[in-house]
Homo-oligomer: A and B are copies of this chain.
Amino acid sequence: MTRINRAACVGGGVIGGGWIARFLLAGIDVKVFDPHPESQRIVGEVLANAEKAYAMLTGAPLPPRGKLAFTTTIEAAVADADWIQESVPERLDLKRGVLNQIDAAARPDALIGSSTSGLLPTELQRDMRHPERLFVAHPYNPVYLLPLVEIVGGEKTSAATIKAAMDRLVPIGMKGVHIAKEIEAFVGDRLLEALWREALWLIHDDICTVETLDDVIRYSFGLRWAQMGLFQTYRIAGGEAGMRHFLAQFGPCLAWPWTKLTDVVDLDDALVEKIGQQSDEQADGRSIRELERIRDENLVGILQTLKGSDGGKGWGAGKLLKDFEATLWADGGNPETPRDTSQPLRLIETKVSPAWVDYNGHMTEHRYLQVFGDTSDALLRLIGVDLAYVEAGHSYYTVETHIRHLGEAKLGQAIHSTCQILSADEKRLQLFHALYDTETGETIATAEQMLLHVDSKQGKAVTAPAEVLVKVNAIAAGHAKLAIPEGAGRHVGQKR
């Protein structure tokens, strides 16, 4: 996999900050130049949101966070970077000036992406000495959760640059989409702009309020578009007769005088005030921070849902997340890492996700078993039972579990789990997991599990191979010196 080694970000607002978070969380060092007096605070806020979201998004092991440094010149930020991302305000003269400075100071092989949402790369690269490595890399807010990056080249951009840019987005969990021809606003903002114009007319003409309009979107086609886009949705609507039939049937509607798009709405004071007031009512007293939190939790949940789609293979943005996690596991779940076996192994670190809590904000019963199941999976990877092993036809199956609830985990709480091997033989693996409140160290729950090594095609228990048993025994030998934990061997209702 082709990776970014050192990144530079010129401009650290909400968009620049989102890029910085993506790089840092992927383990990439980032140098930032932004003359704004509060740039460190702004970047810090975006980064805090991103870290919170990632902790809920994935249980896969993130690499050690990259180093963040702020510089006082563009030159110092970009000199040793191999990906430079420009995210300064949307003015052609300003962007050109900044890009020319970057161009002069950067390594000749560095990739230079612009976050512009509308300017043409041909215009941006006009005065550069090495224009072939300039491209548009246009992301969407919140950049740390929405994976899309529109990649657009200008007349002088080389094909090698486009390919290199697309490749390097994969290890940071993003989805590069190459737009074939450059036009102002590219594809996403074109579509948004069309809908936005129409929306403004609907409010202007009092057909509906901003809340009604948002409800129309989020109770109907918004749900469709999170997983399939426009054309795939219409393909289904066309039924067995297919896309061509759909177009024949609905095409003529295009000529009907429905939309008011031939006019541009005048965003005068009255309309601005109307929208502002209606938006305040819709927010119902919720602050921007609170709305951000809800948005991020919802996005996390939707991404996780799509990860489980299509029989567990993943779909759309969820498949991307699944693939991203696979690379994280491959990098971070290194089974060769020597580990201290004089203590139970500390395996899962996570935060209680919003999808995991009940009405009262307490972690739902079955999510405890989810964390314990993840703990077993983490142990299995340590003994060489990873995805490749499972796909080759063998695995360990859980046959029995005993859970005790000793406390409560709450929304957002940092928790971690440990695993102690109680006993092991050629087929069996008896484990004792504990779940802790990371802050207080209090034990929240425990789980004892029996796992059997199976041939998954035959569906029966078989002896594990020597290379697995060697690793099992190395840990089990260390753990044999530990005391049997309180609660092990209990049956339900047993007197203490």
Residue of B nearest to A250 (CB): B196
The 8 A CB mask of A358-379 against B (1 = contact, 0 = none) is 1111001111111001000000
| A489 / chain B contacts, CB cutoff of 8 Å | 491-493
Known: A187-B207, A219-B317. 17 other contacts (CB 8 A): A118-B258, A146-B221, A147-B219, A180-B207, A190-B258, A193-B259, A199-B231, A218-B316, A223-B299, A226-B226, A231-B282, A247-B276, A301-B306, A311-B361, A365-B401, A368-B369, A401-B403
User: Any chain B CB within 8 A of the CB of A343?
Assistant: no
Q: Is the CB of A207 within 8 A of B194?
A: no
Q: Is the CB of B224 within 8 A of A185?
A: no
Question: Given A197-B261, A223-B299, A308-B354, are A276 and B213 neighbors across the interface (CB < 8 Å)?
Answer: no
| A52 / chain B contacts, CB cutoff of 8 Å | none
Q: Is the CB of B298 within 8 A of A253?
A: no
Question: Given A264-B254, A366-B373, are A208 and B180 neighbors across the interface (CB < 8 Å)?
Answer: yes
Residue of B nearest to A299 (CB): B223
Question: Given A217-B191, A294-B310, are A302 and B226 neighbors across the interface (CB < 8 Å)?
Answer: yes
User: Any chain B CB within 8 A of the CB of A297?
Assistant: yes
How far does the alpha carbon of A474 sit from the alpha carbon of B88 in the complex, in Å?
A: 72
| A264 / chain B contacts, CB cutoff of 8 Å | 254-255
User: Any chain B CB within 8 A of the CB of A334?
Assistant: no
Residue in B177, B214, B299 whose CB lies within 8 Å of A229:
B214
Copies in the complex: 2
User: Any chain B CB within 8 A of the CB of A94?
Assistant: no
| A194 / chain B contacts, CB cutoff of 8 Å | 194-195, 197-198, 259, 261
| A237 / chain B contacts, CB cutoff of 8 Å | 14, 141
| A218 / chain B contacts, CB cutoff of 8 Å | 225-229, 316-317
User: Any chain B CB within 8 A of the CB of A200?
Assistant: yes
Chain A residues 118-152 with CB under 8 Å of chain B are: 118, 140-141, 145-148, 150
| A355 / chain B contacts, CB cutoff of 8 Å | 305, 308-309
Q: Is the CB of B243 within 8 A of A280?
A: yes
Q: Is the CB of A229 within 8 A of B215?
A: yes
State the Cβ distance, A447 to closest chain B Cβ, in Å: 9
How far does the alpha carbon of A456 sit from the alpha carbon of B312 in the complex, in Å?
A: 37
User: Any chain B CB within 8 A of the CB of A399?
Assistant: yes
How far does the alpha carbon of A452 sit from the alpha carbon of B68 in the complex, in Å?
A: 50
26 residue pairs from A and B, CB less than 8 Å apart: A178-B212, A180-B208, A187-B202, A190-B198, A194-B198, A213-B229, A214-B230, A214-B232, A217-B230, A218-B229, A218-B316, A225-B225, A232-B282, A240-B288, A243-B275, A244-B276, A294-B310, A297-B310, A298-B305, A310-B354, A365-B401, A399-B405, A400-B403, A400-B404, A402-B403, A423-B493
